Structure 1
């Protein structure tokens, strides 16, 4: 997915000082009453912001014992700031939807369908394509952004509206520096000067007339896009906003806080006062986390906006709560070297302490309210490392380092947090020396894949949240980057095959496996298929939205770039050798529990000239298929250049639509 992640400032130096700052009274631990009320301390004022940022200004050390925050008011809770049904000849009987983590919680993507139209977001425009019936395949309209001040990233579609989320550049520049000295100093030490403000903008269009979508509302918050969710008419967005610490500490005047805008409340931008900005005591980082909610059905309801000093990294959402996970690093002290010894000693440092802090926000009809914070040892992999079930939050983490062979070697864990986000149950020390490659929670079970030389698939029992246990494990070559439920007793793994040479494992082609967990004590690999050789890759391995799966249709499809060994390479059998490019497009499989994976079709948008120009390698082009979806018996493959339609039952191509002008 084409996202610009927030430029998270390297703050390891400052984070290592956090315990010292607490010990010397610079930072105050939240009181028990505050924690019980799910409250966070407020920045309070611009002077307090400067004091909180002082310790991380280009490595400059300040006198910590002289710093003290102004008295600020007691913190208060943050204010409220798909499948289609049976149809007729004029409407589809069924259509695919975006592959999401939680049923009922929609996730934005670059291609969507409502069963009649396809919607595609590119770098410069949004295309609305008439897709059903397939004999009417055409571009219905284009929403363009030719001024370059807005780049579409993802979108949502429902029966009434199209929501386009993208990165915007505000035309009005930030306040000019009060002196010329600050900009000169910034230039000398290599700090870039950004006169524009970057915002995350959501554009809401009425789709009553597909030929002429009407822009009805705009909402935006300052920063870089992190993630979003949509539940019915409620839209929730998160963004990270870089704080120019150097400028704040050097300017004589006050620099305003971050900005936001809701067009239903006026065309102008509003500034968030420092009295409304909270901070995470354990993670004071020079970034703002912006969390916003909008009720799309009620234009009179103001956008809910919450701002925190400290950046977010991963987001997970249930139907009731949004969670933002942040990694907290605490540098371990080095062992003291003997002063009597003139020879340098070999110092093996203990591993740094790494925790994951999870912040919860209650969601209600477009309103977000801070609702608590929890912390677990280790670091998470991605959004699938978190899951809410029956009032508990389950979190899978890895701590330690894979390269170590002492007590600080990597270990994998599962923690169960209660409604107060306190650790209620835990299972630690899984697969020492390995790290988590994928996790999937399914009700009272969890599936965890770790890897170093082989692929252990662990089946975990979460029936008793207080005491999670390992039910069984399967060790096979390779690993899975993404796990997808097939049914209650089977799960599909997408990853890479691997072969070992002595103590080193080398990944090979893309591996797709169906695991049978009917006997939880003895899970087994029921079927598998391997695509290509070393170098083969797929967006699905790092973005679950690239998957098309329908158990009812026995259908599995995803985009893939295939590299294969030549005859000479096969004879040499060097597992370190990369293959040569042979294909980019969609692999379409028939999948059932009797026959396993049967390759039903291979669809590409590349022509003969493209293949000749490719040579041994290939790269991202406008003809690369990125998404695959279905409407009734038609499978549509989408690239920036084409939409192609094939009949599922016959594999016959029934439509081609060029998308470029």
Structure 2
């Protein structure tokens, strides 16, 4: 699901800061070459400098001063929260178009000889997920517990152990697994903490904050996992990465606005803890908190790193007055992307309560600010910043290749028909995050639905009524250019490499109706880009009807793919039209719930998508109870993995093992207490 972020005022949930920025879009379709578009406005820092070119707060009084200035600049004008200095709307833009209701590297992660791994963006950079496997055991995170399941061989499946958190005020989110350890990341809210760094009240209890915890377990004995270390940082979880034994966490934490404005005593900085160093919580001193003068917000961005192999190495913590949205990591760098407003066309306040025409609304301009950190053995070092116009879609909008950073953005709004209409762009930044090349003005009136960088090429899908797939040459960093484009019905939310000349698209089919388009069933497509000037849709298949959806469309980690095994599988919820609905040919009609589980395909270049079968955890009684709709259930299949010759599907209720070749069921393990 595509999400929205706004710049928050007092009382707004800070969790929104972790959500990806996006606007309301609509109209026209064409390509405008870079020379016809305005030049990029780029802020830059000397990444080679030994000093961090970002000012420090220095003191609590300076924080209060900056927050007072921020608060004074916020005014409400015609329903918009707008800065008096003429900045963009502070309110979060809508996440979908009124016309449309739906919302790396060249190589994929190498297939393990004996078991599958999480589908990640960059080879060698692991991403946390709700299910992991080491080739013998399955590790599963639910909101209540962690399960360790002996999965192989399939006829001996058993639940070996549970790690529960009933009385610990901790909710697991995602996990990592390696040969030595299990890392559980989640939110906690301790009843009370003691901050040993607050000098005025040493070891004084302070109100319970929301914390992000990383719990590190020794799993040499699977039946008795042993907690060896706890890492904590204040705020809400944005994302994380694990490279070898190095763990990196990113959180957003809102300022205690009321306490800062009304409390006489100093409010401590954000808390963190590493139990390998001390059992006490510590607050980040204001002398080390930095801020971005052009992007002050009432929240903190915290980036932390730790070497899990060396508990004597102190946790590396960097804190900024700001917020992070999207995270991208290569093996050398971590990038935090933040959407920032830059300008707005001021309009006099209207005394009328009637809706204003789109052309009379303020013209908002956004830029994506990029903050780079060098990574080494669990430590982070600030390594520069840059900015490009527009908003990113998600982490796949960024890619680092041969020391250059490529980023795709959308400017403007789809629903506008004037100069403020949406346009799509690709920028290339050099090793110092200075502009090297650009391609602007792609598909005016549309927005980006998916991007994938594969070596010297980039693939971009935009959409309003049809799905243009653009093939872009980024081999020359100074001159990216469009090589070819393909227009087909529907759109792709996620693009996945098949090989160097083929890309798989996952999205929705769509039917145009005048100047609007309505999504239908889920669409899979295999694009052949051997002839870059003439890309073709070699194969495609449609699953279900309007209402059909899959977690894969918003979370790439839900995909299981192996080119060598000709295997493609993912969870899906299928809705199908009734015979009466089909006869009516109403493109607006939603189908009725028909299935939830895994679809398993054979995929090759000769036959395309061949549905081998489906696996569900629902019983016949569940289907009877479902009615027209089916919402969240403990029996919903969430992930599919393989170990050896066995395919495993996991829901919160059970694990099913099926023969990888025939899909014949080999066993079921119930997980409910």
Q: Is the aligned partner of 1:658 residue 2:641?
A: no
Residue 44 of structure 1 corresponds to which residue in structure 2? 58
Residue 114 of structure 1 corresponds to which residue in structure 2? 134
Q: C-alpha distance in 2, partners of 1:5/1:378?
A: 14
Which string of whole-angstrom CA distances, capped at 9 and with x for unpartnered residues, describes residues 45-77 of structure 1?
A: 00000011113448778xx99xxxxxxxxxxxx
The normalised TM-score by structure 1 is 0.86
Count matched residues: 596
Residue 26 of structure 1 corresponds to which residue in structure 2? none
Distance 1:625 1:418, change over 3 A: same
Q: C-alpha distance in 1, partners of 2:552/2:306?
A: 30
> 2:369 pairs with 346, 354, 357, which one?
357
Q: Is the aligned partner of 1:160 residue 2:180?
A: yes
Distance 1:174 1:435, change over 3 A: farther
Alpha-carbon contact 2:427-2:438 (below 8 Å) kept: yes
What pairs up with 1:182-261 in 2 under 5 angstroms?
Answer: 195-261=207-273
Q: C-alpha distance in 2, partners of 1:314/1:420?
A: 20
Which string of whole-angstrom CA distances, capped at 9 and with x for unpartnered residues, describes residues 78-115 of structure 1?
A: xxxx7686xxxxxxx51000000000000000000000
Alpha-carbon contact 2:548-2:573 (below 8 Å) kept: yes
Alpha-carbon contact 2:44-2:434 (below 8 Å) kept: no
Gaps of 5+ in 2: 13-42, 76-82, 85-108, 196-205, 351-355
What pairs up with 1:4-19 in 2 under 5 angstroms?
Answer: 9-10=8-9
Alpha-carbon contact 1:127-1:143 (below 8 Å) kept: yes
Alpha-carbon distance, 1:148 to partner? 4.7
Moved over 3 A (4+): 4-8, 10-13, 30-38, 56-61, 82-85, 335-338, 344-347
Which string of whole-angstrom CA distances, capped at 9 and with x for unpartnered residues, describes residues 386-436 of structure 1?
A: 000001000000001111122211000000001111111000000000000
> 1:102 pairs with 112, 116, 122, which one?
122
Residue 144 of structure 1 corresponds to which residue in structure 2? 164
Q: C-alpha distance in 2, partners of 1:247/1:317?
A: 35
Q: C-alpha distance in 1, partners of 2:358/2:656?
A: 62
Q: C-alpha distance in 1, partners of 2:343/2:11?
A: 8
Alpha-carbon distance, 1:345 to partner? 11
Alpha-carbon distance, 1:32 to partner? 7.4
> 2:582 pairs with 559, 570, 586, which one?
570
Distance 1:297 1:345, change over 3 A: closer
Q: Is the aligned partner of 1:513 residue 2:513?
A: no
Moved more, 278-287 or 548-557: 278-287
**Greater RCO between the two (CA within 8 Å, min separation 6)?**
2
What pairs up with 1:594-605 in 2 under 5 angstroms?
Answer: 594-605=606-617
Which string of whole-angstrom CA distances, capped at 9 and with x for unpartnered residues, describes residues 215-272 of structure 1?
A: 1111101111000000000000000011022320221111111111000111111111
Q: C-alpha distance in 2, partners of 1:441/1:414?
A: 11
Alpha-carbon contact 2:463-2:491 (below 8 Å) kept: yes
The normalised TM-score by structure 2 is 0.85
Q: C-alpha distance in 1, partners of 2:467/2:236?
A: 36
Alpha-carbon distance, 1:577 to partner? 0.5
Name the SS for the 1:275 alignment partner.
coil
Distance 1:585 1:345, change over 3 A: closer
Alpha-carbon distance, 1:11 to partner? 8.5
Distance 1:418 1:34, change over 3 A: closer
Distance 1:366 1:31, change over 3 A: closer
Which string of whole-angstrom CA distances, capped at 9 and with x for unpartnered residues, describes residues 549-599 of structure 1?
A: 000000000000000001011100000000000000000000000000000
Alpha-carbon contact 1:6-1:240 (below 8 Å) kept: no
Name the SS for the 1:170 alignment partner.
coil
Name the SS for the 2:483 alignment partner.
strand
Which string of whole-angstrom CA distances, capped at 9 and with x for unpartnered residues, describes residues 441-496 of structure 1?
A: 00000000000000000000011110100000000000000000000000000000
Q: C-alpha distance in 2, partners of 1:402/1:124?
A: 41
Residue 191 of structure 2 corresponds to which residue in structure 1? 171
Gaps of 5+ in 1: 14-29, 66-81, 86-92, 176-193, 339-343
Alpha-carbon distance, 1:31 to partner? 11
What pairs up with 1:33-432 in 2 under 5 angstroms?
Answer: 36=49, 37-57=51-71, 93-172=113-192, 195-335=207-347, 348-349=360-361, 351-432=363-444
Alpha-carbon contact 2:193-2:281 (below 8 Å) kept: no
Alpha-carbon contact 2:215-2:230 (below 8 Å) kept: yes
RMSD: 2.6
Alpha-carbon contact 1:34-1:40 (below 8 Å) kept: no
> 2:492 pairs with 463, 480, 483, which one?
480
What pairs up with 1:520-559 in 2 under 5 angstroms?
Answer: 520-559=532-571
Alpha-carbon distance, 1:637 to partner? 0.2
Q: C-alpha distance in 1, partners of 2:124/2:188?
A: 29
Name the SS for the 1:265 alignment partner.
coil
Which string of whole-angstrom CA distances, capped at 9 and with x for unpartnered residues, describes residues 5-44 of structure 1?
A: 999624999xxxxxxxxxxxxxxxx997799544211010
Residue 25 of structure 1 corresponds to which residue in structure 2? none
Moved more, 127-136 or 4-13: 4-13
Alpha-carbon contact 1:11-1:285 (below 8 Å) kept: no
Q: C-alpha distance in 1, partners of 2:511/2:46?
A: 55
